[in-house]
C-alpha cells in the first residue's frame, strides 16, 4: 500500500508536499498583493522573476521540511 515501507517517512513526505503545494499558491498571491498598489481595485496575478521564484522556493522547502519533521515528531507525543 505504501510507496515507502516506513510509515514515518510517508508522514514526512506527504506533509511536505501538501505544505509546498498550498503555500506556493498562497505565496504567489501574497507576492502579487505586495507588488501592486493599494489603489488597484483587483489583484493582478503576475509571474515573479526567476530570482524571486528561487527565494520563494528555497524558503518553502526549508519550512516544508520543518513541517514534515514536526508533524512526525508531534504525532508520537
pLDDT for residue 7: 67
Q: What is the CA radius of gyration of the chain?
A: 16
Q: How far is CA 75 from CA 19, 35, 47, 63, 69, in A?
A: 17, 39, 37, 18, 10
- Residue predicted with more confidence, 7 or 3: 7
33 pLDDT band, cuts 50/70/90, is confident
1 pLDDT band, cuts 50/70/90, is very low
Percentage, residues of the chain above pLDDT 90: 10
- Residue predicted with more confidence, 9 or 57: 57
What are the two backbone dihedrals, phi and then psi, of residue 36, each rounded to the nearest 5 degrees? -105, 155
Amino acid at each position: 500500500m505504501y510507496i515507502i515501507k516506513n510509515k514515518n517517512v510517508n508522514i514526512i513526505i506527504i506533509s511536505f508536499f501538501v505544505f509546498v503545494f498550498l503555500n506556493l499558491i498562497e505565496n504567489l498571491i501574497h507576492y502579487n498583493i505586495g507588488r501592486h498598489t493599494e489603489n488597484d481595485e483587483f489583484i493582478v496575478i503576475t509571474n515573479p522573476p526567476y530570482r524571486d521564484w528561487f527565494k520563494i522556493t528555497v524558503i518553502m522547502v526549508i519550512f516544508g521540511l520543518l513541517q514534515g519533521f514536526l508533524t512526525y515528531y508531534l504525532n508520537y507525543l
